[in-house]
Structure 1
Amino acid sequence: MPSDSTSKPKIAISACLMGAEVRYNGGHKESRLCSRTLTDYFEFIPVCPEVAIGLGIPREPIRLVGNPKDPLALGTVHPDLNVTQPLADYGQQMAGELGDICGYIFMQKSPSCGLDRVKVYHANGSPVDGGGRGIYAQAFCARHPDLPVEEDGRLNDPVLRENFLTRVFVYAAWQQLLQQGLSRRALTDFHSRYKYLLMAHHPLQYKTLGNLLGNMGKRDPEELGPRYFSELMAALKKCATRRTHTNVLQHLSGYFKQAISAEDKQEVQHVIAQYRHGIVPLVVPLTLLKHHLRQHPDPYVAQQVYLQPHPENLSLRNAI
């Protein structure tokens, strides 16, 4: 399981997504996925930077103006309303205060909170090609480059949803490891448990990080650990595919080839092929492999986070 801790991982979230009526028009953008489904598994910390810096409800909308890489947040009616610096300062402040979160879900398209493709305008009101990032989100994420972050709309995609929540649980497990103390043994054991998850997301980084730890020698784990974790989180951002999942399933099935009958082996290969061709979801071959693992226990396979990187009741692998 992702964590031995009974406490829920904390996720910061744009307050409007939890149903808080804090938007410029006095409304909200409640995400039922977040406010109803995921609350059983995560502790959400709602944040509205625009209200926090003193803008009222309702209020004049703001928009991004100028260079998409370094825009200003200005009032749409009164362009002399410039809240760029207050939003950036609040992003820095919250990056310091929210040191124990394991993820952040931002409101998409928001000039304060949007992560990507936020509309940016010329001073004359015409849109700039491409898009930018919300001022608050930019300042916050700059301080936490390894933190799993996502926009609410993208969580409607089953693959992106599973990817984000997997990363949240990995982040939480790493924070727990840091609390217990980072030794060479602890770092090696951590990597051992996450090897097949990493292989599914980024086969090349699977080899690179294995070599990094294999050549650890007498290097200080306190120095090596942060580099390892940054590279791990970057690798996990890449979504696993049916091809890479199939590769991992084949590797795992190899542990049972001496233990199960020829008929059972044939069934395993048949189900993995069905998954590869899109006939069944990932949960089907995984369930069969876990069945054989119960019948023929293998300590190395049993410890693999890949088999259950998030609570089973979330059913995240039923749709991928």
Structure 2
Amino acid sequence: MSIYRDNIVGFMIRPQVAISSCLMGERVRYDGQHKRSAYLVDQFNPFIEPLSVCPEVNSGMSVPRTPIQLRKTDFNIVLQDVAPPHHDHTASMQRFVLKLIEQSPYICGLITKSKSPSCGVTDTPMIRDKDNSVHYGSGYYVRLMRRECPHLPVIDDKAVLHQDYRHRFLLHCFTLGRFYQQVKINPENGARSFHNQHHLLFQSIDPMKSKELKQVLELWANGKATQQNYLTYLAHLLQKPFRVHHAFKALELFISQQEKSLQSSLRVLFKTLRRQDSDQWISALFAKHISQLSSQLTLDQIGDNPFFMPYPIELMAAAN
């Protein structure tokens, strides 16, 4: 995870994001080909720290190779070759995932290839041994990562092109990256500093869940919860549906707590936002508007508040 200078928000982190290698243009697929994503390589990657991951190759499979599939037995899910003798790759994939987590403890999100038996998020076919019926869900690598790291956001190459899905993913990634950064810098008080810095953002998503997250933080501080408990609850909060009235209430409260010299500019921002057709707003549009207005009004005093700039504004542009 690295840091770079941003003219609006000062120092912006580059969260580490694990991306399926085929989407990076690497010829790692079973047929020796790739599925390069121009958006990820050209628009997205300059603002994050990409970690190329092909779970199939990294767990020992060759290129090219026999296609693999997920099968549901009476006892578990297995990853095996489609063709006889149906070599089983389940254990090698499990070993790879545990090694990946150990070697890369600061991964902030996963971007994976749709429909892949390893990397699919919702559309991987799985065959039931009982009746050979086909069901759809997550690939085996994604299943394992979600089990071991339930706090990580996951998105596939199709969903990342969708404005609102991408916003939710980026919001989660960059928030998690700032958490890791602050805890690394200050092991004793970094988590509390992080939480205070993000309080307005949390309030704007869900005031009640924000309050509950603060309680988890206190339990952690008193040894009655863990960092993983906090991060898992944080993930639940960041996945909540966007409600613009929560965002406006949080902004109103923030304005009332500022010095008078800043309040006037913030009220201009607030009134401008309210004049928009907020009934049509999705979370990505709201973030884009508030980031652009903050820049235009040169509100430098709020530069470190992730509510106004949760991630680089360049990533708010449409995916080409």
1:231 matched to 2:237? no
Query: Mean Cα displacement is larger for which, 38-47 or 140-149?
Result: 140-149
1:38 matched to 2:44? yes
How much has 1:156 moved relative to structure 2? 1.4
DSSP 3-state at the match of 1:120: strand
DSSP 3-state at the match of 2:120: coil
Distance 1:270 1:23 in 2: 49
Contact in 2 for aligned 1:272/1:285 (Cα 8 Å): no
Equivalent position of 2:3 in the other structure: none
1:176 matched to 2:181? yes
How much has 1:158 moved relative to structure 2? 0.7
Equivalent position of 1:304 in the other structure: 305
Q: Go from structure 1 to structure 2 and tell me whether the alpha carbon gap of 1:292 and 1:255 turns closer, same or farther (over 3 Å shift).
A: farther
1:140 matched to 2:145? yes
How much has 1:63 moved relative to structure 2? 1.0
How much has 1:134 moved relative to structure 2? 1.9
Q: Which ranges in structure 2 are unaligned for 5 or more consecutive residues?
A: 1-5
DSSP 3-state at the match of 2:107: coil
How does 1:1-320 map onto structure 2 within 5 Å? Answer: 8-67=14-73, 70-78=76-84, 80-123=86-129, 126-129=132-135, 131-184=136-189, 186-212=190-216, 219=222, 225-252=227-254, 254=256, 268-269=270-271, 271-278=273-280, 281-282=285-286, 283-288=288-293, 294=299, 303-315=304-316
Q: Which ranges in structure 1 are unaligned for 5 or more consecutive residues?
A: none
Distance 2:141 2:133 in 1: 21
Q: Go from structure 1 to structure 2 and tell me whether the alpha carbon gap of 1:87 and 1:206 turns closer, same or farther (over 3 Å shift).
A: same
Normalised by the length of structure 2, the TM-score is 0.80
Q: Deviations over 1:248-299 (max 9, x none)?
A: 444445568966999x9588435324141328942335544565573xx7x6
How much has 1:160 moved relative to structure 2? 1.1
Q: Go from structure 1 to structure 2 and tell me whether the alpha carbon gap of 1:188 and 1:97 turns closer, same or farther (over 3 Å shift).
A: closer
DSSP 3-state at the match of 1:306: coil
Contact in 1 for aligned 2:69/2:117 (Cα 8 Å): yes
Q: Go from structure 1 to structure 2 and tell me whether the alpha carbon gap of 1:26 and 1:105 turns closer, same or farther (over 3 Å shift).
A: same
Figure out how many residues of one structure are paired with residues of the other and give that number: 310
How much has 1:73 moved relative to structure 2? 1.5
Q: Deviations over 1:195-226 (max 9, x none)?
A: 1211233332112223455x6697359x5654
Normalised by the length of structure 1, the TM-score is 0.80
Q: Deviations over 1:74-106 (max 9, x none)?
A: 222225222122122212222212223222212
Residue type of the alignment partner of 2:214 = G
How much has 1:137 moved relative to structure 2? 2.4
DSSP 3-state at the match of 1:105: strand
